Amino acid sequence: MELWFTELQSKSIKMSYRVKDVLHTEKTKYQNLAIIETEHFGRMLILDDVVQLTMKDEFIYHEMMAHVPLVTHGNPERVLVIGGGDGGTLREILKHPVKEAHLVEIDERVIEASKKFFPALSVAFEDPRAKVFCEDGIAYVKRFKNYYDVIIVDSTDPVGPAVGLFAKEFYKDIYEALTDKGVFVAQTESPFYYEDLLKNVYSAVSSIFPHTAVYTATIPTYPGSLWTFTMGSKQIDPLTSDISNIPDLDTKYYTPSIQRSCFNLPAFINEIISK
């Protein structure tokens, strides 16, 4: 018998993965959570039928989520991840000499499932510098002023519990929660399937932060593969920041030269964000 998992990448596009084994399914308070073993990409985390990560390509997304903003900042001490309950982004942050890395995840079942099924990511939770809060990230950031050096929003797609994580109000609270040199980044989806989202986030972030920049990475299991990240920075220009002191990072995608080149955008993405 052939078993396949299909993600509806848009209303008219499907991507299917041959499944070796279904390891876990559950309905949490917030979403449907599934963990399967796929033939080509290995173990996969799925939330509400959407691929969140696979063992084969998770390094690309998590390295680019963490290293680009941390290196832009230069010497971050306190870093916050909003979402990212699998621990992948946190694991990458902890490769830097940060003092504290906090993670606020609304669904504690994602954290628990990751501890059981994704030890290579959830090792991050065992680091003494890591602290986890299980609550709504939107309410959480409101309580902080001038506190975090870097804030990373590792959210699901802009549907259901994540809608508020793409709103201007939330970006204002993030701005306040950041220190003077603070840097913020959010995953902002595919420029092919979520063009309006990218445009709207860019416009919201640039109405709040003095510097806004988009960068990309290629992630095979996300719709369209070409993925965007939008950065807001309070002081440092991400395109000319001092990168003479990048720590020695053990990475498989990120390199010091990608720190600069990832901000070089194809013309059609420049066109989307300049509208």
- Catalytic site positions: 154
> Interface with ligand AG3 by CB under 6 A: which range of 139-147, 151-159, 195-203, 260-268?
151-159
> Interface with ligand AG3 by CB under 6 A: which range of 50-58, 99-107, 124-132, 252-260?
50-58
Q: Is 157 in the site for ligand AG3 (CB under 6 A)?
A: yes
Candidate list 51, 98, 183, 198; residue touching ligand AG3; CB under 6 A: 51
Rounded Cα distance, 70 and 146, in Å: 17
DSSP state of 107: -
Q: Is 107 in the site for ligand AG3 (CB under 6 A)?
A: no
**At closest approach, how far in Å is the CB of 230 from ligand AG3?**
13
Among residue numbers 223 through 252, which ones bind ligand AG3 (CB under 6 A)?
A: 223
Starting at the earlier edge strand, list the strands of the sheet with 13-27. Answer: 4-10, 13-27, 32-38, 42-47, 50-54
C-beta of residue 99 within 8 angstroms of C-beta of residue 78: yes
> Interface with ligand AG3 by CB under 6 A: which range of 133-141, 154-162, 165-173, 250-258?
154-162
The residues near 270 (Cβ < 8 Å, ≥ 6 apart) are none
Q: Is 191 in the site for ligand AG3 (CB under 6 A)?
A: no
Q: In a 10 Å sphere around its CB, with 0-12 CB exposed, 13-18 middle and 19+ buried, how is residue 250 labelled?
A: exposed
